[in-house]
Chain A
Amino acid sequence: MRQFAGFGSARDTNLRFRYLLAQGQTGLSVAFDLPTLMGYDSDDPLAEGEVGKCGVAISSLADMEALFDGIPLANVTTSMTINSPAAIIWAMYLAVAERQGADWKTISGTLQNDILKEYIAQKEYIYPPEPSLRLVVDTFEFGARHTPRFNTISISGYHIREAGSTAIQELAFTLRDGIEYVERGLRRGLKVDEFAPRLSFFFNAHNDFFEEIAKYRAARRLWNSIMRERFGARDARSCALRFHAQTAGCSLTAQQPYNNVVRTALQALAAVLGGAQSLHTNSLDEAWSLPTEFAATLALRTQQIIAHETGVTGTADPLGGSYFLETLTNQIEAGARDYIRKIDQMGGMVAAIERGYPQREIGEASYRYQLEVDRKEKIVVGVNDYVSNEKPIDILQIGDSVGAQQAERLRALRAARSNDEVARRLATLRTAARGDENLMPHIYEAVKAYATVGEICAALREVFGSYQETAIT
């Protein structure tokens, strides 16, 4: 049970984390705000109005220390939803762990760090694909050496599905991304069984109950065959697909929001029956805003009821052998294989992204779905049928004061740290970025000198350039 949380300042989120842990949650999951995700400090002009809105604002190691204040990293596992600046945020996490005296060999958690799906779906990219992939492989390599229990990537279909893909597209593009990462790791000189066991996955849990269960089953089967046949993996852990699931945010409705509790419970049940290792259940008010404490607690209780009252967790793959599920699993696997073959023919995922292929396929699917809803060929209860008026619900309001507070914290930080050392560390990082050595140690040193996310990303942007997509509508 791992509920995604983050809003406002590091201190605000620290309190929510402590609350969730006290309510019986077993792992932490950090949501970062958009400026952090895009590599800007809270006081950057481009961050105005966005600080602390969609997640917690983290600009420097000082914020990270506040985020995990009083939470021993040796005893919790932490998932961090961060992509373009993943190496920087991870370096900050490792620095906090070191300061707390937690052993890097035993700390555990997951970095999302899946840059390919950013170009495909979520669009939070900074640099072009090649240098971005280099940073990802740098974390694989660093993790293989120093943090054997940390998942350095969570290869994510979730956002692909939220962008409007079908179940087959979600599965196919995600596993093809996985293939790309394995190929890059091998090209770096890593051995497949050295890093593949640390690859984890993240899928959506959408409305179509059996289709979702079949999707997870097909995912495990396909990945096992890819790892064995395509990459010659020997270690069973390299071939096993472990995944986190999150219920579908895009299925939540602003209308009749209490219906979302029911939707989420059914989606969560599909994820559990499909064998998810870890789960996030969305809150009923998320078509309006980030969740209130009440809504977030109810979402956690939904998981606890499934785990402790329904008995469904006692059996692995309980629907295996059902004629319907087996057929559906075969169909989804075949559909995904088709897509994977096509992308192979294009020369891999980076080439496919540059041609706009997955982006177009998803855009088509999402438009088709919207037309079906508009024509009432698909019923969305409370939206295009069974409509009724209801009282507005209470929602979480996040003030605009976080931006000003963060700007003040950053001003104080820049006055207190050694700016000479920061400049030196950033210069070394830039030089290293121009060569081909692993950048993690340099990023780690910069972070420890309290260089900010914005400063480090700007240094790398100077060397790597920025990515601009060609918008397809």
Chain B
Amino acid sequence: MLESEASDEVSAYTMPITPSAAPSKTKTIRVLIAKPGLDGHDRGAKIIARALRDAGMEVIYTGLRQTPEMIASAAEQEDVDVIGLSILSGAHNTLCPRLLDLLRQKEMSDVLVLVGGIIPEADIPALKKAGIAEVFLPGASTQDIVKFVQQHAGARA
């Protein structure tokens, strides 16, 4: 019931800097986790970043308030296989197509783009048609997301 005690700052946090699981036979999957738009709710983005890292992937988190332009250029510079967008603000219909356009312009259409957040079911078909590989809603488990990335980013990685 009582889950927490104040922990000492030094021992509070150990961030796995190198992937914790050895990559199998192919190169390590590289993922960019990004928060586009003005929203600051980053709980989901941080959990996903950590879960993918714990699953052995290399994860770069952009931080908050990234425009689609900033995300596309970060993805290009970091040569990622996957972009995970976290959007809770309702701006997904504006932000996702713009990012996908930019990726096309940069000839990066093979990058797997996933979205997680508060997304009405009615918006999902159009997002997928625009090129979003999968939409993860509240309640999605980190295992399912890890599995999806491993299965679908394999072709590139």
Contacts and interface: CB of A to CB of B under 8 A. Distances in A.
A305 interface: no
A208 B3 CA distance: 11
Contact of A361 (B12, B50, B67, B90): B12
A383 B142 CA distance: 13
A46 B4 contact: no
Contacts of B121: 288, 392
A342 B6 contact: yes
Interface stretch (B18-26, B58-66, B75-83, B100-108): B58-66
B89 A50 contact: yes
Given A252-B138, A473-B15, A53 B91 contact: yes
B6 A365 contact: no
A373 B7 contact: no
A361 B38 contact: no
A331 interface: yes
Given A49-B91, A397-B122, A40 B139 contact: no
A172 interface: yes
Nearest to A369: B3
Contacts of B49: 473
Given A168-B2, A364-B13, A49 B40 contact: no
A469 B64 contact: yes
A37 B89 CA distance: 12
A337 B59 CA distance: 36
Contacts of A367: 46-47, 50-51
A328 B4 contact: no
A40 B38 contact: yes
6 closest A-B pairs by beta carbon, nearest first, are A49-B94, A123-B40, A53-B90, A471-B63, A49-B91, A166-B4
A287 B6 contact: no
A118 B64 CA distance: 13
Contacts of A355: 9
Given A34-B37, A34-B38, A289-B118, A211 B50 contact: no
Nearest to A341: B6
Contact of A50 (B38, B51, B142): B38
Please indicate which of the listed interface residues B6, B39, B62 has the most CB atoms of chain A within 10 Å of its own CB.
Answer: B6
Interface of B: 1-9, 12-13, 15, 33, 37-43, 45-47, 49-51, 53, 59, 61-64, 67, 89-91, 93-95, 118, 120-122, 137-139, 141-143
A258 interface: no
Contacts of B138: 252-254, 287
Nearest to B53: A473
Chain A contact-residue range equals 35 or more
Interface string A371-404: 1011000001001100000001001011010000
B61 A49 contact: no
23 contacts: A47-B38, A50-B90, A53-B90, A162-B43, A166-B3, A252-B138, A254-B138, A287-B118, A287-B138, A335-B4, A335-B6, A360-B9, A361-B4, A364-B13, A365-B4, A367-B50, A380-B139, A384-B141, A471-B42, A472-B15, A472-B46, A473-B15, A473-B45
Nearest to B90: A53
Contacts of A374: 141-143
B98 to A, nearest CB: 9
Interface in A102-150: 118, 122-125
A348 interface: no
Contact of B94 (A124, A288, A328, A400): A400
Which of A163, A253, A328, A363 counts the most chain B CB atoms within 10 A?
A363
A125 B118 CA distance: 22
Given A168-B2, A361-B12, 10 more contacts: A34-B37, A34-B91, A47-B38, A50-B90, A53-B90, A122-B40, A165-B4, A211-B2, A287-B139, A367-B47
B36 to A, nearest CB: 9
Contacts of A380: 139
A327 B103 CA distance: 57
A118 B40 CA distance: 9
B94 A48 contact: yes
A267 interface: no
A161 to B, nearest CB: 11
Given A172-B6, A255-B139, A367-B47, A360 B13 contact: yes
A1 B138 CA distance: 28
Contacts of B94: 48-50, 400
A163 B88 CA distance: 13
